Amino acid sequence: MTYLLQNLVRFGRVLRDLGLDVPAGRILDVARALEHVDIGRRREFHAALRCLLVHRVQDLPVFDEAFRLFWRRRGGDRTQLDLRALGEERRFGAPEVDPVSLGADGETAGEHGSSLPEARRVELQTYTARETLRHKDFGRLAGDELREVQRMMAELTWELGLRRTRRWRAGAGPAIDLRRVIRANARHGGEPVVLPRRARTVRRRPLVLLCDVSGSMERYARMLLQFVSSVASSLDRVEAFLFATRLTRITPHVRRRRIARVLETLPGHVPDWSGGTRIGEALRTVNMRWARRVLGHGPVVLLISDGWDRGNPELLRREIARLQRSCYRLIWLNPLLGSPVYEPLTRGMQAALPFVDDFLPVHNLSSLEELAVHLGSLPDRRAARRRHAAA
């Protein structure tokens, strides 16, 4: 019984790491319940643990796969699914960066085995470590790696394209300023000798961030909130929202510079943190309640989600189409897209993709750097649509 209790404690830790709500005291309840269950029968043992440890419907597939893997026979098959992505295919991959190997005496494993000065070796090791972190998945970061990636993320520069407003300014532009023409040529008897010109005033585009914090996104939530905070502190007009089954505006929180303190209390302000996912209902709230306030002046909308939606796909299709018509460009960031074997097969992604202008990964620091470059050189969506329609 002692070994069984130890394994139950380990199993509880596994479930907590996968995002399930399993308090430590619940394991004692499981141990007492097993006194009335024939643990030799796997089906009864599974049913007892499932009844006591699972409280949300969306956690059932994760629990079943975790149970099959953890309580398998010695030498049994291993899982082929990423449990924390709720059914999405597991991310396979070779080491992202080939580290520069150093010998015991500090020599590189090069062709000639030439040695390097101590300062150069330290610099090389530091660069290699940072380069490895650039390509490491956010879901696999821990401890010092998290803090280092957060520092590297704070160094990124975020720039959005400029938009032309309806206001005019004096300057070298395509239009003639008739008011200034009359004033400037009054001394010439009204003859248009001098033709002053005017141009449209340009301003930076606003940005709207919609971040999924449901159970399947929990392992990415902290780093993505750090990303949201980094963008909000770099740009002027930024609106940020979190959603799972409902929408919560967090703009006043992320505008604070020290996001680490905010992250400790933010789950208390979001009632559906790590809950289910209803993207369509969240987008309907944006369109019905917040559109006048945050979707004016042609904003760029970043929607961050893995697309694992439990709501009505028709509602999602209708609301995301409306959101796309209200913004300058709609960009969907999916952390699962970093996997070479990922395919957007969920109902949510199938319903949303026809209305998404850019579908990009957001699983590591390198993908964020590529996103920063992409945001700084956004194409004209309307021109692209005209070319597509003409083709």
Residues of the chain under the 70 pLDDT cut: 1-3, 24, 73-129, 161-166, 255-265, 267, 379-391
Phi/psi at 151 (5° precision)? -65, -40
d(CA 295, CA 19): 33
**Into how many domains does the chain fold?**
3
C-alpha distances in Å from residue 32, one per residue of 6, 29, 312: 14, 5, 40
Q: Is residue 67 domain-shared with residue 182, that is, in the same domain?
A: no
Give which of 206, 205, 202 is closest to 238, Cα–Cα.
206
| Domain interval for residue 34 | 2-81
Q: Are residues 71 and 217 in the same domain?
A: no
Q: What is the pLDDT of residues 269-284, one digit of tens each?
A: 788 887 888 999 999 9
Domain boundary among 54, 81, 108: 81
* Within a domain: 95: no
361 shares a domain with 244 = yes
> pLDDT tens across 38-70, in order?
877 888 888 888 888 888 887 888 888 888 888
Does residue 345 form part of some domain? Answer: yes
Residue 297 lies in a domain: yes
Q: Return the DSSP state at 295.
A: S
- The residue among 56, 81, 106 that closes a domain is 81
The answer to whether 130 and 168 are in contact (CB under 8 A) is: no
Give the Å distances, CA to CA, from 41 to 16, 18, 38.
25, 26, 6
Same structural domain for residues 179 and 328? Answer: no
Co-location of 179 and 282 in the same domain = no
Backbone conformation region of residue 106, classed left if phi is above 0, alpha if psi is from -120 to 50, else beta: left
188 and 296 assigned to the same domain = no
**Same structural domain for residues 44 and 175?**
no
The per-residue pLDDT for 333 is 94
pLDDT tens by residue, 303-312? 999 998 888 9
